């Protein structure tokens, strides 16, 4: 628990938590939402296409979306770390956040595999696994988003339970 208190005392945590300007918490929250949009939005488009739900959309050009997805992913990670350490003694022991973090790691690995096995693979290779990866990715990002929203209400949830 001492490390969590130490994290809350770092300059970045103090800045996020106590900055009187919009540069603190609001900016980190905006960056987190923007990053999630950049990661999940294009990922959902690519996944829907791989699943065959938009057959007129050419598959290979969608591979160009992956650098934007990764920029969004890392923006989300960096801003999420700032938000988490600002209230580390509460957030980093929250089981919902811990579930979200595991889901994010699995989703990132799945996103990397989808890019490698479907979008960077030779024509027609990996199409069977691609549908499974795409469907799994949609479910994972949905679960990450739901878990992220539930973090704000976790005290109420745990009081009911």
Taking only the tens place, the pLDDT of each residue in 116-125 is: 988 887 765 5
Name the nearest CA neighbour of 47 among 147, 139, 154.
Answer: 139
Here the tokens at position 42 are 């294009």
Q: What is the pTM of this model?
A: 0.87
Here the tokens at position 98 are 């811990």
b/e for 89-98, b at 16 or more Cβ within 10 A? eebbebebbe
* pLDDT number for residue 158: 66
Distance of CA 59 to the CA centre of its chain: 23
* Helices assigned H by DSSP within the chain: 2-8, 11-18, 25-50, 66-86, 88-91, 95-114, 127-151, 154-160
Taking only the tens place, the pLDDT of each residue in 120-152 is: 877 655 556 789 999 999 999 999 999 999 998
* pLDDT number for residue 138: 97
Note down pLDDT in tens along the chain; length 161 residues.
Answer: 799 999 999 999 999 999 988 889 999 999 999 999 999 999 999 999 999 998 898 888 999 999 999 999 999 999 999 999 999 998 999 999 999 999 999 999 999 999 998 888 776 555 567 899 999 999 999 999 999 999 988 876 666 65
> Is the distance from CB of 43 to CB of 137 less than 8 angstroms?
yes
Here the tokens at position 60 are 């290979």
Whole-number Å distance between alpha carbons of 67 and 105: 17
């Amino acid at each position: 628990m001492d490390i969590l208190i130490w994290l809350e005392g770092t300059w970045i945590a103090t800045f996020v938590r106590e900055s009187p300007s919009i540069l603190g918490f609001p900016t980190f929250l905006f960056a987190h939402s923007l990053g999630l949009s950049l990661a999940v939005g294009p990922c959902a488009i690519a996944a829907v296409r791989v699943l065959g739900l938009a057959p007129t959309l050419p598959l290979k050009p969608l591979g160009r979306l992956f650098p934007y997805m990764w920029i969004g992913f890392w923006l989300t990670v960096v801003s999420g770390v700032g938000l988490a350490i600002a209230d580390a003694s509460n957030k980093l022991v929250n089981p919902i956040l811990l579930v979200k973090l595991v889901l994010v790691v699995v989703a990132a690995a799945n996103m990397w595999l989808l890019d490698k096995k479907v979008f960077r693979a030779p024509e027609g290779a990996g199409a069977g696994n691609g549908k499974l990866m795409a469907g799994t990715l949609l479910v994972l990002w949905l679960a990450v988003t739901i878990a992220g929203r539930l973090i704000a209400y976790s005290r109420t949830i745990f009081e009911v339970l």
